[in-house]
């Protein structure tokens, strides 16, 4: 049985997802559902007892850390003038985010765009950095550690709300067998909802993750932030090449999860129907029962004679 509270929650989520694309927004840097995971989300949301609450198809990103200090508000305001508004995480800034592999040709030029200027950009320019001397900076005059720039590859992560723990089981099984081995229930609070439990399964994998420090941010002589690289262009090309390979593995695992989950739910649904149709041991239809009672009555009458 699917609780009515889950039905209401799912209806609300599906109503939000049905918002026209030009009007839809969420809390991700992209602000919308990733194209590479739309089909999977639609398939999951079509299954009874399941609905997605958040997702990421997989991405590469370059992120500038923020600094926590008494002058953080002033620092953020200054950086807002310096950097294009591309979303943020805490006091930090996204310098680059892509949910697709960053393919480059043999000369290192970006080959997935039509703009010649963008295609001719170096990776340093693409990631918003200027080449440095490779030497890590020390603390600044105020004793603050440097604000680092990190390159990330992150595989798919998917949160699925389930009607009951019974509905969560095939999701966990499909995730684990498809390579998302760090999947599990998203805490135990999901079992203590005011209007009834709705367990949430986090489908994720740490094995494909990649993180590397590639730069830092410092203020120039005019007090303006400058993002300097700690690595060479060739090192950035190596990171991009690794991320392309991991995008491929991520896609294979995502499709394997989709196929396994749909098969499991289909089998479970068929088993439930078969179980409902299965007759209990010793069951007799009405005609057989009448014949048996008639025969027993004749035997009893015969003994009386």
CATH number at residue 139: 3.30.1960.10
- Tell me the pLDDT tens digit for each residue of 105-140: 544 455 444 444 555 689 999 999 999 888 888 776
Q: Is residue 65 assigned to a domain?
A: yes
Q: What is the pLDDT, as a whole number, of residue 257?
A: 96
Q: Is residue 45 assigned to a domain?
A: yes
| DSSP code of residue 124 | H
Gap between the Cα atoms of 63 and 216, Å rounded: 10
Q: Does pLDDT of 61 surpass 90?
A: yes
Residues with Cβ within 8 Å of 16's Cβ and at least 6 positions away in sequence, in order, are 24
What's the pLDDT band for 74 if we cut at 50, 70, 90? Answer: very low
Q: Is residue 300 assigned to a domain?
A: no
Q: Is residue 225 assigned to a domain?
A: yes
Q: Is residue 290 assigned to a domain?
A: no
Q: Is residue 304 assigned to a domain?
A: no
Burial (0-12, 13-18, 19+ Cβ within 10 Å), 98: middle
* Per-residue CA distances from 162 to 15, 192, 291 (Å): 17, 14, 49
What is the residue-averaged pLDDT of the chain?
78
Q: Is residue 105 assigned to a domain?
A: yes
Structural domain boundaries, residue 24:
4-273
Q: What is the pLDDT, as a whole number, of residue 119?
A: 55
Q: Does pLDDT of 167 surpass 50?
A: yes
Q: What is the pLDDT, as a whole number, of residue 256?
A: 96
Q: Is residue 285 assigned to a domain?
A: no
- pTM for the whole thing? 0.72
Please state the domain count of the chain. Answer: 1
* Per-residue CA distances from 259 to 12, 43, 256 (Å): 26, 10, 5
Helix (H, G, I), strand (E, B) or coil at 97: strand
Q: What is the pLDDT, as a whole number, of residue 197?
A: 76
- Tell me the pLDDT tens digit for each residue of 241-263: 999 999 999 999 999 999 999 99
Q: What is the pLDDT, as a whole number, of residue 106?
A: 45
Tell me which residue of 210, 214, 213 sits closest to 246, measured CA to CA.
210
Q: What is the pLDDT, as a whole number, of residue 43?
A: 95
Q: 101 or 145: whose pLDDT is higher?
A: 101
């Amino acid at each position: 049985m699917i609780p009515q509270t889950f039905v209401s929650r799912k209806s609300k989520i599906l109503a939000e997802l049905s918002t026209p694309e030009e009007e839809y927004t969420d809390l991700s840097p992209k602000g919308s559902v990733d194209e590479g995971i739309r089909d999977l989300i639609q398939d999951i949301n079509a299954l009874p007892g399941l609905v997605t609450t958040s997702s990421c198809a997989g991405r590469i990103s370059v992120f500038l850390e923020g600094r926590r200090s008494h002058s953080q508000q002033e620092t953020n305001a200054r950086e807002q003038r310096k950097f294009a508004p591309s979303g943020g995480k805490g006091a930090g800034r996204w310098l680059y985010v892509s949910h697709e592999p960053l393919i480059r040709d043999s000369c290192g030029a970006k080959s997935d765009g039509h703009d010649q200027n963008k295609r001719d950009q170096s990776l340093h320019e693409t990631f918003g950095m200027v080449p440095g001397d490779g030497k890590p900076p020390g603390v600044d005059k105020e004793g603050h550690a440097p604000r680092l720039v990190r390159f990330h590859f992150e595989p798919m992560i998917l949160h699925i709300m389930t009607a009951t723990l019974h509905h969560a089981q095939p999701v966990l099984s499909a995730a684990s067998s498809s390579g998302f081995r760090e999947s599990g229930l998203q805490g135990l609070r999901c079992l203590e909802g005011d209007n009834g439990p709705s367990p949430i399964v986090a489908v994720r994998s740490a094995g494909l993750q990649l993180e590397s420090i590639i730069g830092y941010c410092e203020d120039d002589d005019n007090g303006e932030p400058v993002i300097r690289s700690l690595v060479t262009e060739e090192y950035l090309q190596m990171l991009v090449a690794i991320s392309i390979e991991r995008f491929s593995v991520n896609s294979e695992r995502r499709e394997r999860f989709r196929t396994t989950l749909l098969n499991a739910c289909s089998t479970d649904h068929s088993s439930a129907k078969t179980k409902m149709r299965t007759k209990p041991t010793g069951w007799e239809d009405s005609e057989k029962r009448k014949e048996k009672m008639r025969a027993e009555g004749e035997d009893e009458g015969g003994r009386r004679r």
